[in-house]
Amino acid sequence: MAPALDLETEALGVLRRVFGYDAFRGDQREIIEHVSGGGDALVLMPTGGGKSLCYQIPALVRAGTAVVISPLIALMQDQVDALRALGARADFLNSTLDFDTRRAVEASFLAGDLDLLYLAPEALGTPGVQRLLDRGNIALFAIDEAHCVSQWGHDFRPDYLALSMLHERWPNVPRIALTATATSATHAEIAKRLQLEGARHFVASFDRPNIQYRIVPKNEPRRQLLHLLRTEHAGDAGIVYCLSRASVEKIAEFLVENGITALPYHAGLDARTRAANQSRFLREDGLVMVATIAFGMGIDKPDVRFVAHLDLPKSVEGYYQETGRAGRDGLPSTAWLAYGLQDVVQQRKLIDGSEGDLAHRRNLAAHLDAMLALCETVECRRVQLLAYFGQQSGPCGNCDTCLAPPESWDGTIAAQKLLSTVLRLHRERGQRFGATQSIDILLGKKTDKVTQHRHDQLSVFGIGTELSESEWRAVVRQLLAQGLLAVEGDYGTLALTEASKAVLSKQREVKLRREPERVATAKAARSR
Ligand code: ADP
Ligand code: ZN
């Protein structure tokens, strides 16, 4: 057996000679030595942490070809090109190749001429590829984006389930699975499904101290976004995430009209345009990519200075991954999210209408609830974010709640007024309405819809004039986040929950967060 010292020297040599870096980062050295020595590893490391080297260096140190399983077919060419530019012998096999190219890649694999071979997960399911691998010399298996095996995660790919076969078919080949998504539940599920319970687990800190987390109430999203870009990120590269293709197009246009170089990216664009926009984003300075979450996985651009969300992410994992694309170079960066009541209504609607059984919908709802709790917290965002990943920490000093601690206020009476409006509509009239109608009633507004339904006759009509409309919307949002109110159905109508009763019967107090944005907006209006 080779003494560990030799592996260490060899790995460091490759790091310097091939990759041109001086020293390993974080756990890289240990991981690389472990895998180079033939051990299995499960690596949880945040985006930008340097996962690639963890399998690329063992690939060069060990005899044979490292087989890298990656779902990112669109990026394989780029990854292979980057490795070749460094002098490594790399290639890939996926459905985009023509017959002759495929044959040539197979031949060089069999001849032992490849250090790394990238494979799409679905390829491994085919007998042809399995026989090919049987005939070659495999140095190791690297399973990238390993969280795709998690059925409860947000990126589930059925093809990943078959990867447990690697261990059964090639029991002596070391495996390294890598992911940037790691709640303890996902972690356990990856280990179980990929049969990596016996592997060494490397769990890096998930903190990204250079990212400043900010979550603001969504009032006028376009104006708010433009303000952020102009005042803090003029000329910077960044990503703006939107939920739908239509809003991607509209926001990109809007930014261009306002003098910002922005490009759209979503799955509805043809492959050529997508590839062109992506490569401009990677190569040019100061471009803003307006995209759905189809964009970003595996994108390695170090100087993304901001990630802005104009719609609520579906889960904390998604939020963490998407914001994690900012500031890979370690320099100060912004993660900014604008979120409003409409987001909650829309997401609940999506969940209610989603395919799958009750357990699946419950799981989606739990993901959303955790995301809402992060939005409405009065504590440090980072503490809450890291706690979600099972990591303890103290107030960070670099998030909105640390920088401008939100005041909280006793919202018990406001909550009672709102809940009793919902209750009355339902009980006295057998009706269900959305937030707007309830708020109009509380404010005593005689809108057409109010008079038409004779809601001005209700005893709650006009009892909530002490708050403004946007303050009432904030109340609704926070009650939803706290589970004291629910939205249902296609129209996002409000309904009481079990927990609402305790508030109505005065057995429970409600603490609410005051809107910091109102202060900021007022200041901005004055200085204009
Ligand atoms: P991940 O896959 O974890 O998101 P990458 O492997 O893409 O991260 O690495 C992120 C960036 O950090 C890349 O630009 C990479 O070249 C760089 N990097 C990785 N390891 C080191 C190191 N030891 N020293 C300097 N830079 C590194
Ligand atoms: Zn903080």
pLDDT in tens, 233-274: 999 999 999 999 999 999 999 999 999 999 999 999 999 999
- Angle (deg, nearest 10), helices 341-352 and 358-376: 170
44: exposed, middle or buried (C-beta count within 10 Å: 0-12, 13-18, 19+)? buried
Supply the ipTM of this predicted assembly.
0.97
Are residues 312 and 350 in contact, defined by beta-carbon separation less than 8 angstroms? no
Dist. CA 62 → ligand 1 center (Å)? 21
Q: Is 321 touching ligand 1 by the criterion CB < 6 Å?
A: no
Atom of ligand 1 nearest to the CA of 28: 23
Candidates 230, 233, 227, 239; CA nearest to 265 is 239
CB count in 10 Å sphere of residue 27 = 20
Residue 20 CB neighbours (<10 A) = 8
Q: Which atom of ligand 1 is nearest to the CA of 52?
A: 6
What parts of the chain have a pLDDT lower than 50?
A: 1-2, 518-528
**Best mutation site among 18, 25, 83 for ligand 1, i.e. most ligand atoms within 8 A of its Cβ?**
25
Q: Tell me the C-alpha distance between 401 and 289, whole Å.
A: 27
pLDDT reported for residue 526: 37
Instruction: Reduce the DSSP state of residue 174 to 3 states and report it.
Output: coil
Which atom of ligand 1 is nearest to 45's Cα? Answer: 3
- Separation of alpha carbons 338 and 224, rounded Å: 8
Q: Is the CB of 52 under 6 A from ligand 1?
A: yes
Task: Could you list the beta-strand ranges (E) of 24-102.
Answer: 41-44, 65-69, 90-93
Nearest to 152 by CA among 327, 385, 356, 343: 356
Residue type (1 letter), 66: A
Could you tell me which residues are beta bridge partners of residue 41?
176, 200
Which of 12, 32, 33, 52 maximizes ligand 1 atoms within 8 Å of its Cβ, making it the mutation to test the pocket? 52
With beta carbons less than 8 A apart as the criterion, state whether 362 and 352 touch: no
**pLDDT value for 146:** 95
Distance separating alpha carbons of residues 201 and 183, to the nearest angstrom: 14
State the pLDDT at residue 517. Answer: 52
Closest residue by CA, ligand 1 atom 27: 50
Closest ligand 1 atom to 23 CA: 23
Q: Looking at ligand 1, which atom is closest to the CA of residue 54?
A: 6
How many whole angstroms separate alpha carbon 510 and alpha carbon 25? 46
Atom of ligand 1 nearest to the CA of 24: 23
pLDDT value at residue 4: 55
Q: Return the residue matching tokens 């990854």.
A: 79
Ligand 1 neighbourhood includes 49 CB (under 6 angstroms): yes
Q: Residue 512: what residue type?
A: L
For ligand 1, is residue 475 a contact (CB within 6 Å)? no
Helix (H, G, I), strand (E, B) or coil at 250: helix
Q: How far away, in angstroms, is 214 Cα from ligand 2 center?
A: 9
Residue 123 CA to ligand 1 center (angstroms) comes to 27
Cα of 382 vs centre of ligand 2, distance in Å, is 5
Report the alpha-carbon distance of residue 388 to residue 206 in Å, rounded: 10
Instruction: For CA atoms 263, 267, 268, 274, give the dihedral sign.
Output: positive
* Closest CA relative to residue 396, chosen from 380, 385, 384: 380
Q: Which residue has the tokens 């939803």?
A: 480
| Ligand 1 centroid, distance to 208 Cα (angstroms) | 14
Q: Report whether residue 24 contacts ligand 1, using a CB cutoff of 6 Å.
A: yes
Which of 12, 19, 331 for a ligand 1 pocket mutation test, highest count of atoms within 8 Å of Cβ?
Answer: 19
pTM over 0.80: no
Per-residue pLDDT tens digits for 148-194: 998 877 788 889 988 999 999 999 999 999 998 767 788 899 999 99
Q: Where are the alpha helices (DSSP H) in 86-207?
A: 99-110, 121-124, 127-135, 158-161, 164-169, 184-193
- Total H helices, total E strands in the chain: 24, 17
From the CB of 50, is ligand 1 less than 6 Å away? yes
For residue 516, the CA-to-ligand 2 centroid distance in Å is 15
Residue nearest to atom 16 of ligand 1 (CA): 50
Centroid of ligand 1 to alpha carbon of 380 (angstroms): 28
Element (H, E) at 449: helix 448-452
Question: How close is the Cα of 374 to the center of ligand 1, in Å?
Answer: 29
SS3 of 474, please? helix
| Pocket of ligand 1 contains residue 327 by CB under 6 Å | no
Could you tell me if 307 and 239 are in contact, meaning their C-beta atoms sit under 8 angstroms apart? yes
Tell me whether strands 333-339 and 304-309 are parallel, antiparallel or unpaired. Answer: parallel
- Rounded CA-CA distance 80/145 in Å is 17
Does residue 45's CB lie within 6 angstroms of at least one atom of ligand 1? yes
Counting from 1 in the atom list of ligand 1, the atom nearest the Cα of 180 is 3
Torsion sign over Cα 213, 219, 220, 223: negative
**Which amino acid would we find at residue 124?**
L
CA dist., res. 326 & res. 332, Å (int):
9
How close is the Cα of 207 to the center of ligand 1, in Å? 16
47 lines ligand 1 (CB under 6 A): yes
Separation between Cα atoms, residue 487 and residue 492, nearest integer Å: 5
Ligand 1 lined by 51 (C-beta under 6 Å) = yes
Centre of ligand 2 from the C-alpha of residue 314, in Å: 22
Ligand 1: atom nearest CA of 144 is 2
Which residue's alpha carbon is at the smallest distance from atom 10 of ligand 1? 48
Ligand 2 centre to CA of 1 (Å) is 48
Best CA proximity match to 312, nearest among 290, 345, 273, 287: 345
